[in-house]
Amino acid sequence: MALPVPGVRAVMVSMQRRMAAEGSVVMVGRDIGTVVLPDAQVKVYLDASAEERARRRFQELRTEGVDVALEAVLEDLRRRDALDQGRETSPLRPAPDACIINTEGLTPAQVVTRILEKLPR
């Protein structure tokens, strides 16, 4: 897996910030709340165990017809997490003021409901 190139990441962050400045936006990414939009009004950090996330990805790949072992998916996910958490540029971590939602065992609809509950009224 290629590591991020800091110069490219800086350009991307600038573009993402310009997009957000145009109005309300929902952005997804591993550093949105900590690097791209640290002053965002609402920050949500979705979390689940590596095993749960690997199971979901495994099912997704199998649905797409990809023949892969669950253990290989889990190993790849753990490797990516370690790289993302340990990288110097934009490391993976929740923002200090993020609402952390554990999605373990939740359906996508249940996750959306939990997110909507966190939005200001």
Element containing residue 15 per DSSP (H, E): helix 6-21
Please indicate, yes or no, if residue 10 is contained in any of the structural domains: yes
pTM over 0.85: no
Please indicate, yes or no, if residue 69 is contained in any of the structural domains: yes
Q: State pLDDT tens for residues 46-71.
A: 999 999 999 999 999 999 999 999 99
Please indicate, yes or no, if residue 62 is contained in any of the structural domains: yes
Per DSSP, 40 falls in state -
Q: State pLDDT tens for residues 96-119.
A: 999 999 999 999 999 999 999 988
Please indicate, yes or no, if residue 1 is contained in any of the structural domains: no
d(CA 121, CA 116): 10
pLDDT at 102: 97
What is the number of domains present in the chain? 1
For residue 39, what are the domain limits? 6-118
Please indicate, yes or no, if residue 107 is contained in any of the structural domains: yes
Helix 70-86 with 50-63: angle, nearest 10 deg: 130
Q: How far is CA 94 from CA 37, 44, 46, 55, 98, in A?
A: 12, 8, 9, 22, 6
Please indicate, yes or no, if residue 56 is contained in any of the structural domains: yes
Q: Is the pLDDT higher at 7 or at 114?
A: 114
Q: Is the pLDDT higher at 68 or at 4?
A: 68
CATH number, residue 15: 3.40.50.300
Please indicate, yes or no, if residue 46 is contained in any of the structural domains: yes
Please indicate, yes or no, if residue 19 is contained in any of the structural domains: yes
